[in-house]
Structure 1
Amino acid sequence: MSLIGSINPLSASPLTRIETTQPKIAVGLSGAGKTAPTESFGQVLDEVVSTVQTKQDAAQDITRKVLLGETDQLHQGMIAMQEASVAFSMMVEVRNKLVESYQELMRMQV
């Protein structure tokens, strides 16, 4: 009999539920229990842009060090460049979705 066939799913111990330490807020239809956001939308976008800029600066710095022969960690430079590239691509896609959402709102008739 194969290993997969010998496993009994009913004999497996159930997973324990991990309780979070965050308080749960119940929001009804009246809106009671809502909390004010801690950051504005503009601040969140500023943080995202600064994070992407930091990743790009770090990738540029590591690449410069590799090219000047100060370090031989080429793999770290490639990883940093890929992280910066993925972060930038994600930021551009989020911007595209925001612009698309705004345009959709402007097309709605009131």
Structure 2
Amino acid sequence: MSHSVNSILSQIRSYQSQVAQAAPTGDVARGNAIGGLGGLAGTQPTAAPSFSQTLQGALAGVNQAQQTSSTLAAAFERGDPNADLARVMVASQQSQLAFRATVEVRNRLVQAYQDVMNMPL
């Protein structure tokens, strides 16, 4: 199961890097925005990708994998010559692994939330 968690974390990191590459001013401005020090050293703060945006991107990827798997399975059942059994099985396994990893991330987020809520003040 740890491999699937590592897989979803690597997907999240890749989404973060894609968003970071789209930002014109780079890591310095992103670091300032995160630290709340916007405007230091003559840089303008840029919008760093939020956790919810990163999570939505990862969930969209999982959804896309499931839709692709479903489409290939339906095409195989109809007898489409472009949908061979190997592609259908690989797509199915990819979507299952992505879903399991997503459930594991959700479980860990819920556990972290519960741990924070149970902390004494």
- Shorter-chain TM range is 0.5 to 0.7
Do structure 1's residue 56 and structure 2's residue 66 form an aligned pair? Answer: yes
- Identity, % of aligned positions: 31
Which residue matches 1:106? 117
Point out the structure with max Rg over C-alpha: 1
For structure 1, the residue ranges without an aligned partner over 5 or more in a row are 1-22, 26-32
Which residue matches 1:36? 33
Secondary structure in 2 matching 1:39:
coil
Which residue matches 1:45? 55
TM-superposed CA distance for 1:48, in Å, is 1.0
Superposed CA RMSD: 2.1
For structure 2, the residue ranges without an aligned partner over 5 or more in a row are 1-25, 35-47
Whichever residue aligns with residue 52 of structure 2, its letter is G
Do structure 1's residue 87 and structure 2's residue 98 form an aligned pair? Answer: yes
1 or 2 for the larger relative contact order (CA 8 Å, sep ≥6)?
A: 2
**1:103, 1:94 → 2: CA distance?**
14
Which deviations, in whole Å up to 9, do the C-alpha atoms of 1:74-105 show, x marking residues without a partner? 11000000000000000000000000000000
**1:24, 1:44 → 2: CA distance?**
17
TM-superposed CA distance for 1:34, in Å, is 3.0
TM-superposed CA distance for 1:35, in Å, is 3.6
User: What is the TM-score when the length of structure 2 is the normalising length?
Assistant: 0.61
**1:85, 1:91 → 2: CA distance?**
10
Which deviations, in whole Å up to 9, do the C-alpha atoms of 1:43-69 show, x marking residues without a partner? 111111111000000000110111000
Say which structure is richer in helix: 2
